[in-house]
């Protein structure tokens, strides 16, 4: 809450209050976790030591603008360390059997942060830190990114890692300009990266079909030990920074499809983007209800376009590496 992005910035502290209110309203019992700051060793699994040191000094000197969108203040260093440590801390608690699902409601977000640079409101790549921590322990990890913006940092960090599967659905033609179908991984990791970029006004019906017909079969064949979700809610129809047409229940429907793919207690959801407070609250509640509540039934999807040609293109690329229905 003390991470100060400046007056009028969309990535503001109230986002966390909205998400927590949504989780509390879901009817799902919550177990709190308060992470300690991440160690340099934990961060160094995905970030350069020189960059970590440079960012620490930048914050200690009072912070400021890193680029036209990304701001840090004096408190941003500790906030970033705790956000990066939250995923591993949640995994440790899940290993103890205290819950069936982890939810990292933290800021700053992370999926745009690359090895040696902050960008897109992100300083350390929270989901990547957790994935690297898990693969160090011998696990295979699948990451699903449904933020409206492509997670360029996460993709780059695992582009040559065959133990990490990265799947993204995002809006085409917007920040950061990456995430094409041609980006499929490299070397031994060829085929472990798939991007589905969709046009503006795409609705939840397309997302749910892409999830069930492309992403779920791929994850099933990859056989991950852990499933991590970069859960931005900026594809919501009310979000001010993008142009897609999802509604809150669409996130619940996608969560319902993902939940059976790994055993209970082996999934963690990470808050990424999402800048309308009501949409954040409703979508967070729908996500955990879809994942954990067997009585969850989604309402109708928002009217939007359903670009079936984009689905066929994704199926053609995915079919080079995986068996699809």
pLDDT digits (tens, 9 = 90+) for 275-302: 999 999 999 999 999 999 999 999 988 7
Cα–Cα distance measured from residue 187 to residue 158, given in angstroms and rounded to the nearest whole number:
11
Phi/psi-derived region of residue 239, left when phi > 0, alpha when psi is between -120 and 50, beta in every other case: beta
Q: Residue 164 forms beta bridges with which residues? A: 141
Query: What pLDDT, on a 0 to 100 scale, did the predictor assign at position 266?
Result: 98
b/e 88-115 (16+ beta carbons within 10 angstroms → b): bbbbebbeeeebbbbbbbbbbbbbbbbe
CB-based contact 27:293 (threshold 8 Å): yes
pLDDT tens-digit readout, 158-194? 999 999 999 999 999 999 999 999 999 999 999 999 9
Structure tokens at 192: 């472990």
Query: What pLDDT, on a 0 to 100 scale, did the predictor assign at position 301?
Result: 82
Query: What pLDDT, on a 0 to 100 scale, did the predictor assign at position 300?
Result: 86
Q: Does the reported pTM lie above 0.85?
A: yes
Q: What is the phi/psi pair of residue 165, to 5°? A: -100, 130
CB-based contact 289:27 (threshold 8 Å): yes
pLDDT tens-digit readout, 39-68? 999 999 999 999 999 999 999 999 999 999
Catalytic residues: 112
303, pLDDT greater than 80: no
Nearest alpha carbon to residue 289 among 256, 263, 321: 256
Cα diameter, the chain: 55
CB-based contact 100:292 (threshold 8 Å): yes
Query: What pLDDT, on a 0 to 100 scale, did the predictor assign at position 243?
Result: 97
pLDDT tens-digit readout, 233-255? 999 999 999 999 999 999 999 99
The architecture CATH gives domain 14-318:
3-Layer(aba) Sandwich (3.40)
Residue ranges per domain, the chain? 14-318
114, pLDDT greater than 80: yes
Cα–Cα distance measured from residue 198 to residue 128, given in angstroms and rounded to the nearest whole number:
24
């Amino acid at each position: 809450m003390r991470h100060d992005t400046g007056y009028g910035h969309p990535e503001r502290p109230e986002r966390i209050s909205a998400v927590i209110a949504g989780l509390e309203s879901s009817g799902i019992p919550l177990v709190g976790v308060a992470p300690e700051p991440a160690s340099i060793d934990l961060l160094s699994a995905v970030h350069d030591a020189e960059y970590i040191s440079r960012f620490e000094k930048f914050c200690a000197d009072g912070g400021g603008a890193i680029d036209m969108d990304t701001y840090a203040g004096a408190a941003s260093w500790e906030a970033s360390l705790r956000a990066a440590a939250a995923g591993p801390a949640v995994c440790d608690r899940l290993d103890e059997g205290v819950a069936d699902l982890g939810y990292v409601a933290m800021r700053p977000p992370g999926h745009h942060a690359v090895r040696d640079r902050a960008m897109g409101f992100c300083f350390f790549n929270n989901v990547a830190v957790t994935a690297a921590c898990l693969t160090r322990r011998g696990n295979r990890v699948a990451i699903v990114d449904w933020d409206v913006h492509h997670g360029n940092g996460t993709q780059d960090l695992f582009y040559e890692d065959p133990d990490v599967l990265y799947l993204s659905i995002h809006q085409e033609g917007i920040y950061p300009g990456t995430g094409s179908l041609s980006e499929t991984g490299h070397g031994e990791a060829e085929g472990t990266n798939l991007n589905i970029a969709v046009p503006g006004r795409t609705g939840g019906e397309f997302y749910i079909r892409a999830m069930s017909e492309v992403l779920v079969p791929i994850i099933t064949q990859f056989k991950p030990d852990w499933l991590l979700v970069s859960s931005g809610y900026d594809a919501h129809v009310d979000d001010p920074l993008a142009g897609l047409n999802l509604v809150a229940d669409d996130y619940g429907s996608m969560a319902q499809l993902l939940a059976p793919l790994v055993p209970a207690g082996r999934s963690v959801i990470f808050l990424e983007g999402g800048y309308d407070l009501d949409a954040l609250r409703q979508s967070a509640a729908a996500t955990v209800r879809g994942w954990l509540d067997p009585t969850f039934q989604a309402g109708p999807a928002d009217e939007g376009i359903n670009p079936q040609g984009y689905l066929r293109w994704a199926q053609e690329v995915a079919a080079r590496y995986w068996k699809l229905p």
